[in-house]
Structures are given as C-alpha cells and as structure tokens.
C-alpha cells in the first residue's frame, strides 16, 4: 500500500487538520515507511506461536489480604475540606 500527497490531503480534510505541503510530504514518507514495516510483519509465520501477554514470563506473587491500617477514621476525616464528624465532605461535582 502506498500513500500519496492526494491521500494525505484528503485525510487531513476529513479530519479537519490543516497540513501544509512540506508537512504533507513528510507525513506521506512516514506513513509509507510504517506500511512497509507492517507488510514485513505480515510476512512472518506465526501459526504455531502462542500469543504473549508480556515478554517476561513471570507469575505474580500472591500475598495475604490483611488490613494494615486500623482505626484511622479520625485521621481521614481530618483531611476533609469541610469540618464534619461523620463523613468526608467533598465539593459538589454535578450542578
């Protein structure tokens, strides 16, 4: 696939992005090199290869689910923007 200046100008018009001539030429070159790389990747045989979620094949260490901070309610409420004894007060978001 090849991208020419006419295609770049058409795409820029559709996306309502103003692109001058030198920038359009650079974009055409960049996009063509990206498409060439994609075509190279499509030539690779990946039929018997399992997909990866990460390059590092490690398993996550499990930890016990324990409460580390107890009875900190007063400390949390102290940080509230408004004084209130029962709950944390935040500014109204929806009008």
- Of 30-44, 61-75, 77-91, the range with the lowest mean pLDDT is 77-91
**Which pLDDT does position 36 carry in this prediction?**
95
**Which pLDDT does position 95 carry in this prediction?**
67
In 3D, which of 33, 11, 10, 8 has the Cα closest to residue 22? Answer: 8
Joined tokens for residue 25: 């030429």
Check pLDDT > 80 for residue 85: no
**DSSP string computed for 17-85:** ----HHHHHHHHHHHHHHHHHHHHHHHS--TT----S-SS---PPP--------S-HHHHHHTSSS--S
CATH class of 5-43: mainly alpha
Mean pLDDT for the stretch of residues 74-85: 80
User: Please, is 12 exposed, middle or buried when counting C-beta atoms within 10 Å of its C-beta (0-12, 13-18, 19+)?
Assistant: middle
Q: Fill in the DSSP letter of residue 90.
A: -
Express each pLDDT in 5-62 by its tens digit. 999 999 999 999 999 999 999 999 999 999 999 999 999 998 888 888 777 777 888 9
Mean pLDDT for the stretch of residues 66-78: 83
**Which pLDDT does position 16 carry in this prediction?**
93
């Amino acid at each position: 696939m090849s991208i020419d200046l006419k295609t770049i100008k058409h795409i820029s018009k559709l996306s309502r992005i103003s692109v001058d001539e030198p920038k359009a030429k650079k974009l055409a070159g960049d996009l063509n090199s990206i498409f060439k790389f994609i075509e190279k990747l499509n030539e690779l045989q990946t039929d018997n290869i399992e997909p990866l979620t990460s390059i590092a094949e490690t398993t996550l260490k499990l930890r016990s689910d324990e409460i580390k901070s107890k009875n900190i309610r007063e400390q949390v409420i102290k940080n509230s923007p408004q004084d209130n004894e029962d709950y944390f007060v935040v500014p109204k978001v929806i009008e």
